[in-house]
A and B are shown apart, each in its own frame.
Chain A
Amino acid sequence: MRAYTPKDDVQAKAYYTDRYYVAPQVPKSEVETDEVFAADLEAIKAKFEVKEAYIQVEQMVVYINAHDIYGVLEFMRDELAYTQLSEMSAIDWLAKDNTFEIFYQMLSMEKRKRIRVKYFIENGQAVDSVEKLFRSADWSEREMFDMFGIEANNHPFMKRILMPYDWQGYPLLKTYPLEGDEFAAWYEVDKIYGKEARDIIGPEIRDTATVDRYDSERFARLGFEVPKGTKITGNEEPHVDSYQEDGGIFLIKKYDKESSVVIDDPQR
């Protein structure tokens, strides 16, 4: 049986708070255990420097130097039949040693194998774009720039892809707060109404369960609805809100339960 844990405040506090948490690694095995991967690794090693290589969850992971990336991917695409770049992005290790880890997920439909090519860059360093090799890298590199601030050299259109162009900050960095910084909190207000409107509109209400029953500018309490801007004292009488006025409205007859007839036989 599962051990009992108190659940009094389980909704109030986040169950997961450590944003620098590093998941434990699954077991790694030698590259020699798979002959296809072993042959691929030998071919890469003959041309480029490979720092580390292992197999993890039936995929080979290869660490290379940052300046080799264009050559390695071109070689893998043209010589080793890894014809698809299914994904690429970065991992934030800034808290650990001020580096980013960049990964490229390669797929060979011919060999039915996947290889992950990885390298580290320093904070502030740019990477070489592989957009000329794989069209899928176009948007992936823009997303990497958008989310981490890592620029790609020789990219044809190095701009943000998800966030607005005038956004400040890089949201997927571990240091970026989930609910946004000062800039993000006032972004739409500053842009549409200007900074002087901050006092009128007020800060964001981040607790979505917040209900102020004395505030008639926003939600109304069910059964106690009042017109917008009315001063609420708390002594209001509850009322049942019908969607139609008593006696019906102009040209439309109100449904009357007393004078209506229920037809027993629907076939008549």
Chain B
Amino acid sequence: MAQHKVNYTQDGGLPVALTSIDKIVNWGRSNSLWALTYGLACCGIEMMASGASRFDFDRYGTIFRASPRQADLMIVAGTLTKKHAEFIKRLYDQMTEPRWVISMGSCANTGGMFNTYATVQGVDRIIPVDLYLPGCAPRPETLQYGVMLLQKKIRANKAGNAQKAKRLM
């Protein structure tokens, strides 16, 4: 005999919420975006600030993970050098699908002010990017807004569909 008896006739019915598979899966995905710690330069400081208590990423369910196997969001925060390019590709490949990428700051977007031989001119030359955040460096509020937009983007897609290849590789 259950100690807490559930009155199924109260409040108009059973303790059940009806929804669709798409909605419940996307709700789970969008509210538990585990991000890979990817601070490459000064943008990484802003990313760390976003995760710390003042801006508090945890309330979005965004928790930084130190392993690509446990992450489904890669925030590329900083300058990507050509020497490092193969490693970002390898880490991206190690992340499980579905996976998303935020390019944070001018350097990751376009190479920024580093118009030189050693800097990749935009991280989207190596991996597909979902969201570009402008700024040098973007404030934590920008990153928060970016994560919210990404959540909305995730919820707008069909959960069952396999991720479309964004670039033919």
* Shortest Cβ gap from A161 to chain B (Å): 11
- Least Cβ–Cβ distance between A153 and chain B, in angstroms: 27
Give chain A's interface residue range (CB within 8 Å of chain B): 35 or more
Q: Using a Cβ cutoff of 8 Å, how many contacts connect chains A and B? A: 84
Residues of B within 8 A of A249 (CB): 27, 155
B115 contacts the other chain (CB 8 A): yes
Cβ–Cβ contact B118 & A188, under 8 A: no
Asked if B110 and A178 sit within 8 Å, CB to CB, the answer is no
Task: Report the separation of the CA atoms of residues A243 and B113 in the bound assembly, to the nearest whole angstrom.
Answer: 30
B50 within 8 A of A: no
Q: Pick from B6-14, B39-47, B64-72, B80-88 the stretch touching chain A.
A: B80-88
A124 in contact (CB, < 8 A) = no
Q: How many residues of B contact A (CB 8 A)?
A: 38
- In the bound assembly, the distance between CA atoms of A249 and B17 in angstroms comes to 13
Q: Is A177 an interface residue (CB 8 A)?
A: yes
Would B118 and A218 count as touching, CB distance under 8 A? Answer: no
Q: B residues bordering A, Cβ < 8 Å? A: 17, 19, 23-24, 27, 82-83, 85-86, 89, 106, 109-113, 115-118, 120-122, 124-126, 132, 145, 148-149, 151-152, 155-156, 166-169
9 chain-A/chain-B pairs, Cβ below 8 angstroms? A163-B118, A178-B117, A179-B116, A191-B85, A192-B86, A192-B126, A219-B132, A250-B24, A250-B27
Q: Known pairs A204-B125, A219-B132, A244-B148; list 17 more (Cβ under 8 Å).
A: A178-B115, A180-B116, A180-B117, A181-B117, A187-B85, A188-B120, A191-B86, A192-B89, A201-B167, A208-B110, A208-B113, A217-B124, A218-B132, A219-B109, A243-B151, A245-B155, A251-B17
